[in-house]
Structure 1
């Protein structure tokens, strides 16, 4: 289960037009690709309120969101592929998670499709204490697990001891369908994207598109530029480029979920690193400049505010593969997230950043 997030990028925010605006991918989530459940309900709420006010014509411009329904269909299909009608889908969760309501919507939709599918929720502690492999089958609490769906495990702090890593390894060794497998998890880290774009690997995809080279150019154009800071002449040249125009770039750690630095923080970090080999642990990325629009912010316990905001759209997709054999590759739906103008980077569960679930309005 994937969610690929995109924002609009404009090189001249004072004169926005179709000629100077592009769409850029900012993130790819393969672990806990969340908000399909809440996003679906948000659009239903917006439609309900508009229709209640007699604004049916406006409500018709909000595209229907079926993300959680379509994701559930793929989960049910994967469960059938596993081949054991008694096998369970297991969500690996953090106890007291703030996203439990989003998780539950997916469970409800799966059960709505097929009430015979067992769905259980367990944490890493439960896996450590009670899970085992029997003939390569993953067993916990008398359930054979057909699908392991990670709603945690995407940050290094989710593995505080070796025991959590051992639990992850046991799951990887099992016959259970992993969502995601460790290979898919590693596929979205910054350093891998940098290497793919530098080595020309994308060109190998030309054979899958009727317009070949043009398709590859379109794919490349979806991503902001990534520049190495390795300890060589190219890396040093990129450092100078960033120091001269820090407002054009962001500095990102190549770790799984590393910090992103802007403006004076970027300059300070590069000056601190100097010629230290730790410089190679970072990558320089073109800074995206999204258009700013006025929007009403509705937040629990606070007055409604009219604020300057930027938005990003997430596209949900599903892949089921067996080795190199691709069994399912489908788009599932969308979600729109809106943030205040001061927002730089962060997610709904990050203390210093707030994402508001929103609905796109088609014009």
Structure 2
């Protein structure tokens, strides 16, 4: 964890809180629309199919599901848009404590699983509690509780799943007596503490929403089946009742690694996808999390293709840094030159289309890495301009103990959506669009990766400053 870290508020040019909420709301509208545009998604990621097994498997399953015919037009989305403050190149000042002359830049957009929400919620609660009891107050410091924002991740996530559950309604199959939300999880998941509180929050509602867990893969095929009308029926192995539970919502917390899609995993995901349950997310929604989609959205006209609000498109585009493909297009050839040249590579990050942190290649390591990878596989990567965040001083507590030094932070804004497909040709009607809570992660400035799960950073709480 980290001592509460500074984050500027109401200081232009970064947007204030209301502007940031509106920005993220529009980005969620954007990704909901993308999730219903098969042709656009295909064109964005097609170069991955021969080099990235996960993308190939997911697209094959989507094609199989489309051939079977979809019986559920409603989809749910749990999204997280990650940002860093950026010191422009013309202003080389990244001195400790200075957050002036910064702009807000998007690191990435996550549309699948979005782990960490519970941990971020708990850390924020802890920091607020310690502030209440004056644990941080000393001769030179006095924390103001109003500067530590409360976090509502758990409430927000549970509200989305409950809303989707209620939208599905009562059992439609005469074999079932109740409906429930089904969490699809990885076997022996070490991140279970991030999942369980969401499940408990559903059961603890004034009107409880039943929620169960099922390991992805063989257990899906063993303990679920499709009715004649493709309702997803779940028979919990620990219940003696002969009546199955009809699944209203499938919340995916597994299935984001290529190794999970052997034939059993492939069949399991297809069963879930063609069922009548509301998916969080659908296969197309899952595919929008690939970095190639992020790169494709930076091309001219891409945002306007999905957003009727030109001002919203302009605002979103201002948060983008340059992102390039590594293909044989003009942009791709330029990116290859930049990436292979030690004099320019330090300005970039090489990102593969994989979930989570720990896979990126940074700066000076890029030229040597590309030399070690067959050129035929380069198209699976994108080259992203490196964000240069301002430096702050902080204390971080981890397995190594308490350490102090220069740090940088990343703000993730979580949002939830529920929408209905307009037609087989795309488009959607928003049923729910809400900005929930946030994650705030801090790491030592000399460490490249931000992944908390892999030990590169800490969950933190922003300490808001009026400036």
TM score, norm. by length of structure 2: 0.70
Structure 1 residue 330 and structure 2 residue 434: aligned? yes
Distance of aligned partners of 1:262 and 1:131 in 2 relative to their CA distance in 1, 3 Å threshold: same
Structure 1 residue 153 and structure 2 residue 260: aligned? no
Report the Cα distance in structure 1 between the residues aligned to 2:263 and 2:189, rounded to whole angstroms. 22
Where do 5+ consecutive residues of structure 1 fail to align? none
Distance of aligned partners of 1:116 and 1:61 in 2 relative to their CA distance in 1, 3 Å threshold: closer
Q: After the TM superposition, which of the residue ranges 262-271 and 309-318 deviates more from structure 2?
A: 262-271
Distance of aligned partners of 1:51 and 1:255 in 2 relative to their CA distance in 1, 3 Å threshold: closer
1:340 to 444, 457, 467: 444
Distance of aligned partners of 1:232 and 1:49 in 2 relative to their CA distance in 1, 3 Å threshold: closer
Preserved contact between residue 408 and residue 443 of structure 2 (Cα < 8 Å): yes
Report the Cα distance in structure 1 between the residues aligned to 2:307 and 2:222, rounded to whole angstroms. 48
SS of match in other structure, 1:60: helix
2:392 is matched with: 293
1:39 is matched with: 120
1:218 to 296, 307, 315: 315
How far the C-alpha of 1:222 sits from its partner, in A, is 1.0
Cα RMSD for the two superposed structures: 2.3
SS of match in other structure, 2:272: helix
1:51 is matched with: 132
Distance of aligned partners of 1:88 and 1:236 in 2 relative to their CA distance in 1, 3 Å threshold: same
1:128 to 205, 221, 227: 221
1:6 to 83, 89, 94: 83
Preserved contact between residue 112 and residue 289 of structure 2 (Cα < 8 Å): no
Report the Cα distance in structure 1 between the residues aligned to 2:444 and 2:260, rounded to whole angstroms. 29
How far the C-alpha of 1:281 sits from its partner, in A, is 2.9
1:169 is matched with: 270
How far the C-alpha of 1:241 sits from its partner, in A, is 2.8
Report the Cα distance in structure 2 between the residues aligned to 1:189 and 1:284, rounded to whole angstroms. 13
2:42 is matched with: none
Report the Cα distance in structure 2 between the residues aligned to 1:34 and 1:255, rounded to whole angstroms. 15
Preserved contact between residue 79 and residue 146 of structure 1 (Cα < 8 Å): yes
Preserved contact between residue 443 and residue 450 of structure 2 (Cα < 8 Å): no
Report the Cα distance in structure 1 between the residues aligned to 2:323 and 2:403, rounded to whole angstroms. 36
How far the C-alpha of 1:313 sits from its partner, in A, is 0.9
How far the C-alpha of 1:152 sits from its partner, in A, is 1.6
1:76 to 138, 142, 162: 162
TM score, norm. by length of structure 1: 0.89
How far the C-alpha of 1:115 sits from its partner, in A, is 4.7
Distance of aligned partners of 1:235 and 1:77 in 2 relative to their CA distance in 1, 3 Å threshold: closer
Preserved contact between residue 231 and residue 277 of structure 1 (Cα < 8 Å): no
Aligned length in residues:
353
Distance of aligned partners of 1:190 and 1:51 in 2 relative to their CA distance in 1, 3 Å threshold: same
Structure 1 residue 231 and structure 2 residue 312: aligned? no
1:180 is matched with: 281
SS of match in other structure, 2:127: helix
Distance of aligned partners of 1:321 and 1:270 in 2 relative to their CA distance in 1, 3 Å threshold: same
Report the Cα distance in structure 1 between the residues aligned to 2:251 and 2:181, rounded to whole angstroms. 7
SS of match in other structure, 1:197: coil
SS of match in other structure, 1:175: coil
How far the C-alpha of 1:279 sits from its partner, in A, is 3.1
Structure 1 residue 18 and structure 2 residue 112: aligned? no
Preserved contact between residue 76 and residue 114 of structure 1 (Cα < 8 Å): no
Instruction: Provide Cα deviations, 1:306-355, integer angstroms capped at 9, x if missing partner.
Output: 132211111110011111121111101112111222332252333xx433
In the TM superposition, 1:287-326 aligns within 5 A as: 287-299=386-398, 302-323=400-421, 324-326=428-430
Q: Which has the higher contact order (CA 8 A, sep 6+)?
A: 2
Structure 1 residue 87 and structure 2 residue 188: aligned? no
Instruction: Provide Cα deviations, 1:151-205, integer angstroms capped at 9, x if missing partner.
Output: 121222333x111011001100001011111111111211122223225121235
Distance of aligned partners of 1:201 and 1:104 in 2 relative to their CA distance in 1, 3 Å threshold: same
